[in-house]
Amino acid sequence: MPKDEKLVIPGEQEPSNENTRRGRRGGGGPGGRGPNKGAVSSDDASKQRMESEWEEKIIQVRRVTKVVKGGKKLSFRAVVAIGNGKGQVGIGVGKAAEVLSAIQKGVGDARKHLIKVPLIGTTIPHELTGKQGASRILLKPAAKGTGVIAGGAARAILELAGVGDVMSKSLGSRAPLNVARATINGLSNLRTFEQVAKLRGMSLKQMLA
């Protein structure tokens, strides 16, 4: 038999060069090297889940005028609070020439300044006063079913932190940014009985005795 001829078995097709080439490239199939566009990686899924847990609230958007050489420069300042309703909350400030850009910057700033709030059920462990500048805010624990007795910036932050029952009262300046920062200051200073006992080097029974 001549060398150029190939032996073909009846009932079996000879693979074409096109199919062979396509199999080697492996576009997106199970045996191919290329990525499967329809598949979602575990990192993307966890990122989407984490983003869905966080809630954003815009506390204030103001137009800011800056006097520069040659006239005035207009921009916007956005005060934004974010929280997951499970004891984590933060506030941020963003400035930009457009409102949406200012809000996005505020959200990014808030993510960098998150605090952990210790909760006992749906309320805070003890009474305290938060301070920021001329603003002061009193926070008091409340019985279950009381709800969030607060207004303005303080209410937004307490709800985002997951506090369901609390009483508050603004005692100083009512500027939204300072009230928000005073509320964050108060929540960051909260301590549970276990934390205080550990700081004092005592057991929980010894401290409560």
Is residue 23 pLDDT above 90, yes or no?
Answer: no
Is residue 140 pLDDT above 50, yes or no?
Answer: yes
Residue 23 counted as domain residue: no
Residue 17 counted as domain residue: no
If one compares 31 and 155, the residue with the highest pLDDT of the two is 155
Burial 163-186 (b: 16+ CB within 10 A, else e): bbbbbbebebeebbbbbbbbbbbb
Measured CA to CA, the distance from residue 127 to residue 192 in angstroms comes to: 12
- If you average pLDDT over residues 135-145, what whole number do you get? 94
pLDDT band at 34 (very low <50, low <70, confident <90, very high): very low
Residues 165 and 133 occupy one common structural domain: yes
Residue 143 counted as domain residue: yes
* Among the listed residues 134, 178, 133, the one whose alpha carbon sits nearest the alpha carbon of residue 157: 178
**What local confidence, expressed as pLDDT, does residue 42 receive?**
64
- If you average pLDDT over residues 145-153, what whole number do you get? 92
pLDDT 10s digits, 105-119? 999 999 999 999 999
If one compares 206 and 177, the residue with the highest pLDDT of the two is 177
Residues 98 and 122 occupy one common structural domain: no
Residues 188 and 129 occupy one common structural domain: yes
**What local confidence, expressed as pLDDT, does residue 63 receive?**
95
**What local confidence, expressed as pLDDT, does residue 205 receive?**
81
Residues 136 and 191 occupy one common structural domain: yes
Residue 100 sits in which domain range?
53-115
Is residue 132 pLDDT above 60, yes or no?
Answer: yes
**What local confidence, expressed as pLDDT, does residue 200 receive?**
85
Residue 121 counted as domain residue: yes
Picking from 115, 150, 165, the residue at the C-terminal end of a domain is 115
**What local confidence, expressed as pLDDT, does residue 48 receive?**
61
Residues 62 and 109 occupy one common structural domain: yes
| Tally of structural domains, the chain | 2
Mean pLDDT over each residue of the chain, to the nearest integer: 82
**What local confidence, expressed as pLDDT, does residue 109 receive?**
95
Is residue 40 pLDDT above 60, yes or no?
Answer: no
* CATH code of 63's domain: 3.30.160.20
Picking from 64, 85, 115, the residue at the C-terminal end of a domain is 115
Residues 191 and 133 occupy one common structural domain: yes
Measured CA to CA, the distance from residue 174 to residue 135 in angstroms comes to: 7
Burial 123-133 (b: 16+ CB within 10 A, else e): bbbbebbbbbe
pLDDT 10s digits, 52-81? 789 999 999 999 999 999 899 999 999 999
